[in-house]
Amino acid sequence: MIVATIIVFDDYGPPDVLHPVEVADPEPGPDQVRIRVKVAGVQPFDCATRHGDYAQYTPLQMPARLGNEAAGVVDQVGRDVTGISPGDEVIAFMTMLGYADTVVVPANQVTQKPSELPWPEAGVLSASGQTASTALDELQIGPGDTLLVHAAAGGVGSFAVQIARARGATVIGTASERNHDYLRSLGALPVTYGPGLEERVRAIAPQGVDAVLDAIGGEALDASVKLVSDTARIVTIADWTAPARLGVRRIGTDRSVQRLNELTRLYQDKKLIVPVSRTFPLARAADAHREVETGHVRGKVALTVD
């Protein structure tokens, strides 16, 4: 019997709870495709899920899986699938499946990988890229806006800075001092976290900012409500307490092939780089989580499959 390798965890806990298991090779349904994964992306969301941070909101059935983005080569398609063929190099999005050497996903969650896009970058594009794009749509970011991005050097932040710049906005990004040159390279004006954040932002934007995308939560959001005249133009992807505490919106991701194609077009137009900080073999998913949990990752961490 042909088997596939997946990463699972049997209970919430530290990175060491992640371990590989072998399962029967999955078969695609009529409207699905099977992908032999080359690279899967790792998100802070994955680490928080594994740790149990969201268990009170969405408890998982164990053993549980992780991973919302991957790229690889199609090797089988369902009978109703058109436009995708075995051998196609693709990018896909999924829910809690990506840490694997093989995935089966609906065909409408798959798009062609541009030939010039390297595998590591392709594997980490979908989740954080689509989250950033969704947030900018929610905020209605356009030409002339000044956007403040918290955790601007991380995965979602790195994409948000670049997409907002491509839409004609000025971007101020919060990050540690060591990431300021990196943010400048993406087109953002960097400021440092911590006490005095409001004053540092006003030194760049004396009248405040038009909108805020928060990817870290906490005191950064407390400062944000003082910088924006309309709190409807503040969103967080990280702080579950923010709606009740500050009256700002917590949002998720509106994923679609159309949105993913927008990201690949930006890459092809050289308006988007896909920063990959480090890669780990699939079997070392625990080490990848440890890396993400240092809080010092620029862009994304990826899992690779030989």
Q: What percent of the chain has pLDDT over 70?
A: 100
Predicted confidence band of residue 302 (pLDDT cuts 50, 70, 90) = very high
Residue 297 has pLDDT above 80, yes or no: yes
Mean pLDDT lowest for which of 110-114, 185-189, 226-230, 289-293?
226-230
The rounded mean pLDDT for the chain is 94
Write the CB contacts of 237 (distance below 8 Å, at least 6 apart in sequence).
Answer: 131, 135, 156, 213, 214, 215, 250, 251, 252
Query: Taking residues 268-292, what's their average pLDDT?
Result: 96
Query: Given the DSSP bridges, would you call strands 19-24 and 234-236 parallel, antiparallel or unpaired?
Result: unpaired
Strand partners, 241: none
Nearest to 41 by CA among 125, 116, 104: 125
Predicted confidence band of residue 282 (pLDDT cuts 50, 70, 90) = very high
Check residue 194 and give its pLDDT. Answer: 85
The domain locations on the chain are 3-117+274-304, 132-250
Q: Is 299 left (phi over 0), alpha (psi -120 to 50) or beta?
A: left
Predicted confidence band of residue 299 (pLDDT cuts 50, 70, 90) = confident
Residue 284 has pLDDT above 70, yes or no: yes
Q: Cβ distance 179 to 244 under 8 Å? A: no
Q: Cβ distance 176 to 150 under 8 Å? A: no
What pTM value is reported for the model?
0.92
Residue 111 has pLDDT above 80, yes or no: yes
Check residue 1 and give its pLDDT. Answer: 66
Helix intervals (H) in 167-252: 180-186, 197-204, 219-224, 242-246
**Structure tokens given for 213:** 């995308």
Residue 240 has pLDDT above 80, yes or no: no
Q: Cβ distance 303 to 288 under 8 Å? A: yes
Give the whole-angstrom CA distance, residue 302 versus residue 284. 11
Element (H, E) at 267: helix 257-268
Residue 267 has pLDDT above 80, yes or no: yes
Check residue 281 and give its pLDDT. Answer: 98
**Structure tokens given for 77:** 């398609």
Residue 30 has pLDDT above 80, yes or no: yes
**Fold assignment, 3-117+274-304:** Quinone Oxidoreductase; Chain A, domain 1 (3.90.180)
Place domain 132-250 in its CATH homologous superfamily: NAD(P)-binding Rossmann-like Domain (3.40.50.720)
Residue 222 class from Cβ within 10 Å (0-12 exposed, 13-18 middle, 19+ buried)?
middle
What pLDDT digit, counting tens, does each position of 140-192 carry?
999 999 999 999 999 999 999 999 999 999 999 999 999 999 999 999 999 99
Query: Given the DSSP bridges, would you call strands 19-24 and 64-65 parallel, antiparallel or unpaired?
Result: unpaired
Residue of 306 and 50 predicted with greater confidence: 50
Beta strands in 124-169 (DSSP E): 146-150
Predicted confidence band of residue 243 (pLDDT cuts 50, 70, 90) = confident
- Amino acid found at 40: A
What pLDDT digit, counting tens, does each position of 202-226 carry?
999 999 999 999 998 888 888 898 9
- Amino acid found at 218: G
Residue 234 has pLDDT above 80, yes or no: yes
What pLDDT digit, counting tens, does each position of 249-266 carry?
899 899 999 999 999 999
Give the whole-angstrom CA distance, residue 133 versus residue 136. 5
- Token pair 């390798």 is found at 5
Residue 57 has pLDDT above 70, yes or no: yes
Check residue 76 and give its pLDDT. Answer: 96
